[in-house]
Every structure is written in C-alpha cells, then in structure tokens.
Structure 1
Amino acid sequence: MAAPALSSSATNVMLAIHEKKTAAVDLYHPLRNYIVSNYSEREAQNLEDDLETLKQMRNSVERSSGADSLPARRDLLQNYFKALTAVESRFPISSDKDHVNSVTFKWHDAFKNKHKASQQTIHLEKSAILFNLGAVHSQIGLTFDRSKVEGRRQASHSFIAAAGTFAFLRDNESMKAAIGNSTTVDVSVECAGMLERLMLAQAQECVFENSIAKGSTPGVCSKISKQVGLYYEEALAALNVAPLTQHFDKTWLSHVQLKAALFHAEACYRCSLELHEKEEIGEEIARLKSCIRDLANAKKSPPKGAAAQILDAINKLEANLKVNLERAMKENDRVYLMKIPLESSLPPLPAFEMVKPLNMNEVLDASREKLFASLVPDSSAKALSRYTEVVDDIIRTQAEKLQQGSELARVSLKEMNLPDSVLALEGHSVLPKALWEDVEAVQISGGPASLDGELQQLRDLSRVNHELLVQTEELFQKEAAEDAQFRCQFGTRWTRPQSSTLTKNLQERLNRFAANLKQAIDSNGKLERSVKDNMALMSILDRRPIESALPTLAKPIISMDANEDAIVGTLKQSLRQLETLGAQRAGLEDMLKDMKRKDDILPKLMTSTGSYDDLFRKETAKYKHICEEISQNLQAQEQLLLHIQAQNREFAGTFNIEDYRAACEKCYKQIEAAIAKYRENKGNINEALKFYITLQDAITSVKQQCNDLVMTRSIQCREMIEDVKRQMSGLSFQDGKNSNNYNYPSTGHPQRTSSQQPPYSIPQPPPPYRVYPPSPYPPQHGQQPPPTGGYEYGQPAYPGWQGLYYNAPGQQPGSFPRPAYTFPSPNPSSYYNKP
C-alpha cells in the first residue's frame, strides 16, 4: 500500500514568536560624556558619527517591527547587536560612579507583556536583541509558501537560523543577564533552550514534508518523522517544568503536545509500510497496535485550544493505521502465520537528525565592527601584548626547529660529500665555494694570460722614463755649452755664475733617477722570469669552466653485479626527496611569518566578554597544524638521512670514492698554489707600475725645473750681452764708474726696441711628457695620488724594488726638493726667485 501524503492542513500549523517590547533610552549623551571625561573632547568630536549611528540604531529598535520588512528588521537587529558588543568592550555600563551609570534598559516579557525588567547592564539589552532576532527569523519562516519544495526549503533555513539564535542567547547572554539582577522568563536559559528545540522541530518538519513530496522510501521518512517527534517532546518537557510552566498560553502546550503525538505515530506508520514490504508481518502488526493505542490515548483528553488542522491530521492518520492493521492481520492469518511479538520487546524506532542550529558566532562576530575603533581600553592593550608574546614564542620555537633541520641536512650532506660525488659521476665536478670564489676573482681580473700585457706596460714605462732622462740631460748639456761659449768669448766681463754651480742639485737627482731606473730594469727581468717560469702552474686558472680541471668519477671498469645504475638512481631519488623537504620547510617558515603578520586579534579582544585565556587558546590553535607539519617534516628528514647514509656507503664502495677524493684534494692544492703565485706576481707588477708612474712624475718635475732655469738663464744671457757690448763701445762708461757690478733688469721687462733682435734664438722648452698606462685595478677607496715633487712607498712586494726610492738629505719622506735660484745683483729688487 502506498504511503499517503501528510495532510496539507497540518503543514500550515506552525508557531512564530512575537518580539519583546522596550522603552526609550538615551545612549548618546551618557557615552559622549564618558569619552570626554576619560579621553578628551577632541576624541568625542572624532567619534560623533559613531555616537549618532548608535543612537539611530536604538531608535529603530524601539519602533514596532511592523514599520520595517522582516529581512530589514533582521539586519537591523544583527547590526545593533554587533554595535552593542563594541560598546560593551569600551564603555563599562553599571551603577558604579566611575562607569556609565545613567543608562537603564527596560524590556517587557514577550509572552506576558505585563512582566518587565530594568537593568543598568548591557547584558539585558543584548539578551533582548538576541531574543527579538530569533523571533524575527521564526516570523520569516512562516512567510514562505510551504506547498512548494523551494518554500519548504527556505522555511527550514529560517527556523534553523532561529534555533541558532536562541542557542546563542542561551550559551552567551542568558546567564549574564540573570546574575544578580531581575530579568524576564523569556530570555532565561530554560526558555531559550525550549525555543531552540521548537524551532528545530519545525525545521525538521519542513524536511519531512519535502521527503514525502519527493517520494522518499518509507524507512527514510520514518526516521525523519521520528526526529520531529523527539524535538517536540523535548520542547514539551521544558514547557512542563519551572520556570516555563504556567508561563505560556495553553494553546502552545496543546500545539506542542499534539505535534509530538502526531509525528511519533507518523514514524510508526511509515515504519509499518517498510515492514510490510519486507514481509515482516509480525512486527508490523505489533507496531500498528501500539501506535493506534497511543493515538487513542491522545484523543481521549485533547488539550484545550488544540488546532483543528492537527486533530484532523491525527484522525486521518488513525484511520490509515487501522486499515493497514486489518489487512496485515488477515494476511498473517491466511498466509504468514507469524507470531506477534510483545510490545515491550520491540526496539525504539530509529531517528535521523537532518537539521542543526545555525552557528551564529560568525553572523554576530563583531571583530570587524568599526564603531569606536579608536578607543582601546588599557586591559585590551595589555591582553594584546600578552598574546603577542605567546605568538612570538611559538614562531621563534618553530623557526629554530626549521633552521636546525636545515643545518643538520647541510652538515650531514657535507660529511658524505653529497651531492658533489653524484654530480662528479655525471661530469659536473664542483669546487669548494671559497676556492671557486678565488678562481673567479682571478679570471675576472684577466687571469694569468693578462700578465704578459702588464709586463709590456712595464717595458713601455721604462722606455718612457729613460727618454725623459735623456731629454732632461740634453737640456743641461746645451745650457752648459752655451754658457761656456760666452764665458770664453767675453772673458772676465762674463760675470754670471757657472751652469755647473746652479744645476748641481738637479744633476745629482737625475743621476739618482738613472741609477734607480737601471735597478728597476734589472728587477723587471726577474719579474718576467718569475712569470715565465710559473706560467705552466698558473695556466690552470685560465680553464673555463675551472671545474674541467678537476678529476672525474667514472664507473668501475669491471662490474661485479651490474647494479651501479640502480645504486646511483636510488641515491639521487633520496637526495631529491631531501631537497623537497627543504623547500617545504622554507614554505612553512614563510607561512608562519605570514600568519603572524595577519594575526590581528585586537578587534576580538575588544569584543570578547569571556576569559582572555580561553580566547588565546582558541586563537593560537590555528598555529597547531603548522607546528604539526614542521614536526612531521623533521621526522621525515631524520629517517631520510639514515637511508641516505646507508645508500652513500654502498655508493662509495662501488665507485671507489676515497681515491676520487684524494685526487680532488691534490687538484685543490694545485689550484691554491697557482692562485698564490698569481697573486704574488700580480702584486709585484702592480708595485712596479706604481714605481714607474711615480718616477715619471718626478723626472717630469725635474725636467720642468730645468726648462724654467734654461729660460731664465737665456733672458739673463741676452741682457748681459747687451750690457757688455755697451761697455765695450763706451756707451756706458759713466755707468761703469758708478757701479762695480751688473744690474740685471727684471725678467718681465726686457729693455730693447722692437727693431732689436736677440743675438741668438732662445730655445723653447719642450712640453712635459708623461705616459700613464691604464691601471689594472681601480683606485682603492681613500687612496691619495702620489706627490708630484717626489715619491716614497712602503716595502715593495718584490725584493728587486728595494732601494729604488730616493729622498734628498734632510728632505721629509714623500716630498721632493724645490730649490730656489738666486742670482746676485747690486739691486735686491732685481733678484729672480724661482719658487
């Protein structure tokens, strides 16, 4: 027999809850005064918009719910509750003189309007708002058309939300509102629990109606219906005990009682249909008899105010039960002849819970609430500091574990010479990092091949310095020859000092430069021989890549069991797994840092009304899974390293790693020796370059002084020749009587006419000649250029440069003598001083 659909009249009978009523209350001025007295007037002005928003919300709550649509009313209550949570964490509202003590909340009981409660605590306000939110959800549930599938689904969701709201009220605010204060019964723990069960019963009832509509099996429908009856039974039990007994209207008690009996019978009826299909006729008959008896007892004394639709549904269900019982008994008597079991031996019908209260923690979470966000109480700031210390300790501990794990892997691989040994087998030998950096520095600077070019620079500089010395010496010789010629021509009348007297110091310096240059040339030869003799050793540094100079690791010539490839493959796979674990640790460390950066619990601290320790445990729990992953990673690495050690021993024995390592060490020492010899030769060449450049500057300076001297002597020579000629012609006889010495006119004012020509052409000094080779290295930071007048350096790198530096007696190191040339004259103003 097919299962008939549940009477449509019965489905329309469900309960909704009316909202609580309240009296007007002023929140704006008390809260503003508190901000001014505890913070500042400026802070109160900054929070003016927040105060106005809170005031408007409270005024909207005071209005009747009929003024707004139900969804708008629901949203208003949710937002106001979150605003109250923000207010609670920042404004202490109580009768204490230091608190906000001028606010009193008044609320009436939703089921007995004459009962009301007044409190100076925010918990009564929050309890009432939660109650009204649950009531609005229940009212929304009745607005859907439950004759359609979608309407029943939406209605079920609304009742689930109402159940979740009442459960949130029971668990979070009911006890706080009742502590030490008078409150109404409707927001008590018992009433909130009863309303939660009632809303769940109606949500499960919608699910049962949908199951019948879509043709679910009788067994499934029986389980769902049984749970509906259980929910109603739990609500009925709460209504029959204090403080709810005598508090609700009799129609509520009648409704819940009949609904419980109806759905228990419906579950029994659906179960009997399933038993009939399975031909378990004996149990079917026993359950039908029990169900008919229970319905008859429920009808004997029906509660007052019972809905006619529910009674009609019970009568129809009773009639169906009797028809099925009569049919089952006839079939059993004629066909099955089964024994009817006792009612007491029947197991309880199973139930299937299809609905659960909606979790309202996220819906009513005020951690993102922006109202009064700038007000941070001292207690919240201290709690945040404590939490930060806890998180920092977690991060630090886990970071240390990760670093220790990475260091352990690095050291273990280094001890086993991995993965270098495996890379060497593939032809990719690797130098130690420090040695590779030294080789790279040598190659960047040009390598040993560049030393030949630098030696050529030394030869060019030596030639240039030699040419400068020769040019300067020629100037001295020419000037001395001219002076000797005129001295021979004029005899005693030629009274100016001899050239050898004036140029003695400069000549001595040139001689010393020549000696130094000769010694430097000898040192150049030694340096060239050193580079040539060691070029074969240093040539290894020019190998690119340098790893190609290292020995190679090859398979054994004679294979014993031909499993070399398997050994290498297993080891490489383990190394890849180890690398993967290392990358995973890096990701976990980044994840920890990112979680800490985003972990801002100040809003939750501000809205928390419970113990901070409980909140800390809840918030730090999110780090638990990362800590577990870190622990698992380190354990996996520990086991993997043990496997790699065993695999590496087998690998080393198969490929004779010890001989390979010895060959590598020998090659490393050869490269180190080549680097040392290169640096030695490079340093000596650099010292030589500095010497030649400094010597060139010094010779150029002497040459310039020689040019100045020759020019001055030429001017004086011309003037003296003119004076001597005047004496010889008698034109200056009287002047000769008045002076025994010659008065040389100033070099800047020669006394001759434009038609006069000098007796000989005055040689012009050649321009200074300097050659600076490009330096192979940039100047070091803070290094000063060598002085132009002299040179002095520290001990050279190459012993051949010893003794090449010169300073005149009494001269300070690093300076060069600058002699003054003074020629005697009767008139002191005619002296020519060369600086």
Structure 2
Amino acid sequence: MTELLCVPFKQTLRLDLRKELSELIESITYQSSSFFEEDLTKISALRERVCDSEVSESKLLALKQYYAYLEGLREKFPDNQIQFTWFQTLSQKSCASAQYSIKFEMLNVLYNIGSMYSLLAMDSNDGSTNALKKLCIYFQKSAGCFQYIVQHLQETKEPVFDQNTGLALIELMLAQAQECFWFKAVRNSHKDSLISRLAQQTADYYEKAFLYSKKSELIRSDWTDHLSSKSMHFKAVAFYRNAISLGQNSEYGAMVKSLRIARSFAKKVSLQSKDEFIETIQDALKNAERDNDFIYLQPVPSSVPALKPAPMVKPLPIEDTLKDCNSGQDKLFLALLPLQVVEACTAYNERQDSYINEHIIRPLEALNKILTESLPKNELPPDLKPISMEELHQYDMALKDQESNNIRVKKLLEEVDMVLEKEAETNDYLSARFGNLNWDLPKSSTVNLTYTEKLRALKDYLKQGQTIDYETRSLFQSIDSRLVTFEIKIPESNNPIVSEVSNILKKREKYCRKVESESSEHRILPKIISEYRSTGETNFEGVFREHLKYLEADRKFVQEQKLVNKSLLEKLRAQGDQTEIRRLEPFELYIEDLRHSMQLLNEVKINLEEGADFYQKLIKSASKLLLEVQNFEASRRDQQRALETNLCSDK
C-alpha cells in the first residue's frame, strides 16, 4: 500500500497554563492556588508536551491525557477565561484562531489526536498483516475524532475547521481504512467479486472526500487532485476485478464491457502506478476481446450492472478511543469546588440579599415612610436632613445610567429583531427559489415563535421601564434642589409623640444596618461545601431553606413593628383631631415644602434602586435571548445550506 495521506498536526502558541489557572483559582473560588501546586505543575507540563511535533505512541498518550484533564477543567472553571491560540496547517497559508474557550482547546487537541493516528498509521506501514490491521484501526479512530469535531462545530465562537473540511477528513480516513481491507483481500487471494466490491467502496469513500475537499476552505488543490485520482483508480480496480469475476462465470461479453469501463477510469488517474495498471487492463481487454470475437461470440452489452460496494469500516467513537485516559484515577483539582457549586453559592447569596430586602429592609422602610408622612405638617421628620450637591448629582448620574441601560437593551432587542428578520428573509428567498414543494424546511414564523414571543415580552418590559424612567426624571426635575441641599438648624420637636416616632425611626435604621452586616458574615458557602463534600449533590435548595431560618427573629421583629406603627398612627391621629386650625407660619411653610421635596427625592431613590435591579435582569434576559437567536439562526443556516446543496446536486 502506497500513496496514503496523513493529516499534519495543528500548531499552537505556548502559554503559561500554570499561571493562568493559578490566577483563575484565586479570582473565582474561595481557595488558594498554592493548595493545588502538584496538579498545576502536572497539567502545565503536559500542555508543553503536546505542543511539540513528535510522532509517537507516548505523545499520543499525552494528548489523550491532556484532553481528559481539559474535560475535568470544564467542570471546575468558566469556559471563557483562558485564551488559546491554534494555527491551521492543512492549507498553504497558516492562519491563526484565538479564543477564550476550554472547549476550543479540547477540540483542537482532539484534532491532533486524529492527526496523530493518521501519522502513526503511516509509520506502521511496513506491509505486514499486523501492520495492515493496525493501519485500519488507526484510520477509523482518526475518522472518529474528526467526526466528533464536526458534530460539535457550533460549540465554539470560531470552528476548528469548516464543515466541508471536517467531512473530507472523515471520508479520507475511512477510504484509507477501507483500502487496508481491500489490500488484505488481494494479498489473501480472495474472490475477485469480493475484491471488486471492496474496491468500489474504497472508491466511494475517496469520491466523497474529493467532493467535500472541493468545497473545503482549507484543503489544498494537490490533495483534491490526489483524492480524485484515488477514486478513479479504485473504480478502475473495481471494474477490472469485476471483469475477471464475470469471465470466471462465462459472461465474456460483460467481461469486455467491464474492462473497457476499467480502462476509461484508469486513464483519468495521475498516480505513479497508473501506467503499469493501464497496461495490465489493456492486456486483459485485448485477450478478452480476441477470445470473445473468435470463440465465445457473446454480444458486448452497453452497460454492466452497478457494482455493489462492501463497507467494512466506520468512524470509531472517541469514547472508546479515549477510554484508557478516562478511568477517573488521575483526575486533577479534586478538592477544588466545581464551577456549578461556586455559581450556586453566588446565586444563593444574591437570593439571600433579595430575601432580606423583601422581607425585612423594605417592610421597615415602608413602615417608616408611613410614619413620617403622618407627622403633623409643622413637624419636620427627624430623619429628614438636607443632602449635599454631590449626592444630588449622583442621583442625576444614576438616572442617566438607567436611561443608557434602556438604550442598551433597545439595541440588543433590535439586534434580535435583525437576526430573526435575516433568517426569515433567507428562508423565504430559498423557498421561492426552489419552490415550496422542494423546500421542506418549516417556515420561520413557525420555528421562531418562541423567540418572537420572548422578544415581544421584553419589548413590553422595556417600554414599562422607559415610562418609569420618564416619570422618575420628571419627579427629579420637580425637586427644589436649593431647598434639599440648604442646611438649616432646626430645633428638636418638643412633641412627645414626635420624639417617640423619631426614636422608633432611628431604632429601625440601626436594625436594618445590623441585619445587612450580619448577612454579609452569615453566608451559605460553608454549608454548601459541607453538603457537597458529604453527598456529592449539587441541588442545595433544601440547604438554602434551612439556612434562611436564622432570619426568623428578624421577620418577627418586622411583625412587631407593624403593631408599633399602628399604635403610633392612632396617637398621631388623635393628636391631629385635637389640633386647632390656624394660619401656617413662614417657617412651617418651609418645613412643608422641604418635606414635599424630600418625599419626592425618596421616591426617586426607590425608583433608582428598583430600576437598577430591573435593568440588570432585563440586560441579562436580552443578552440571553440574543445568544439563543444567534444559535437558532446558525442552526437554520446549516440546515438551509445542507438542503440547498442536496437540491442543487439533484439537478
């Protein structure tokens, strides 16, 4: 067996993986990187090893081990933190692709595993029977690696290679594996009919590889020519062996036709063995024509029955190829909390803060607001103090930030709209081009319904946010800035009920600060770590519910304060009924105006707090929808291309 092709390694930029992972551990987990010194050294040294160009079984094992380590990394770290750079080597020009993605690194390493199998097959090609078996297995394993990459092309920002390149490599590896079967059958003198079928299947694999290579963005023209020649060569072989088989069955006329077909294919070959094989066919055809003309006198048919191929190979799944490195006995960073556990801690911390705000802080603030609004008109609420111009400016900037966030969300949703419109326009164009009967992909309006409904809902939310932003801006502009920033000494009230209200307000403010301080110290992380270490489970909802029980006393305090509010309001109402009607003094008018402006400012502050949370969630939802729609459009584009190719080839 000669004239086989092997896939060259992709090259990569070296990087200090030890340093990158150390910084990542320090920044996103609650553990020290020094605790993982041995693991960091091991994976860093292994990446250095897989960067060289050595072709050996030990290098293959290193590639597999590194791939297994990367699988473990994806469970522990975010996928978008470390940048990996790889260079294409199939094309004449080497182009680089850099991505912050562990998955991108994994697929490129798997590419080199597939490449290594093809290179090792070439090194093992000594012509022996054992070598043939090894070659056949290696080529099938290589095909399995490339097949896995093709199936996962959409999982990285830029694919490892274009789809046609991947499919060409799969068919090439299968063709060469099938060629091993054919060669073994020839060597063992199997029946010519079987050798013909094996050769026909080999030709089919090479032909598919050739067709994909023509559409490939990477495969060189000399490879494409080679694949075409190999396909023609094995078609010639298939018809030559078929002719011999026909002769053995006394079908001499069909034998002549089969040899003529073999000769026509052989003349299209550009391999080194071309001339010798053509001579063999010519000799056989000359003898067959002479014998048929003078002895058998059978008519030469215009065609012979199509040769039935005999596939003997298939891509071997990478699970079997990599199983020697997936035993779990040599996993790294076992003591490091998985990313999902760290993310769960963060999510539960946010839920804890939201729970405290919803059930303790805001209810107490609402109770305070009711009290201050119920004070006599000539009394300035004790917690009502002028603010600085800097603080007022900060509220103005916060309003502008929310207005900017509104614009940002609007742009995200416009981009979602554009992606959906582009996909629909493309599908409508292709449907009109090929006709509704041929273009059997579902209509865009049907398959994108989920996304359009989400888009409509987000647009409604955005409109609501815009309305609230406008109202908040109007409120802010109606505030007397001079009044709320002008400091004036106001004597404390001698009204005993007002003094009582003042003390209650201060007590609640102090209590809110205490609850927030305790919350920052009383986090769920230790309980989640303990639960994960003891059970291995990653559903911590029960742990969270149990954790929140420490706030039961605080919720009880809120209920008690509702009763206190009720009592104080009754006292204030009774006092108000006894107050005689009189003309307000200028100072009292000032207090009333200040109270009004400060109440407006409080409404602005509440709107800003709620708006910040609103836009954070809205931006997250809009970004998520955009990603979903982009993935949907990419998937539809692949389906459209595949169907378009099929319809064009049918013509």
Higher relative contact order (CA 8 A, sep 6+): 2
TM-score (norm 1): 0.39
Higher Rg: 1
TM-score (norm 2): 0.50
Q: Specify which structure has the higher proportion of helix.
A: 2
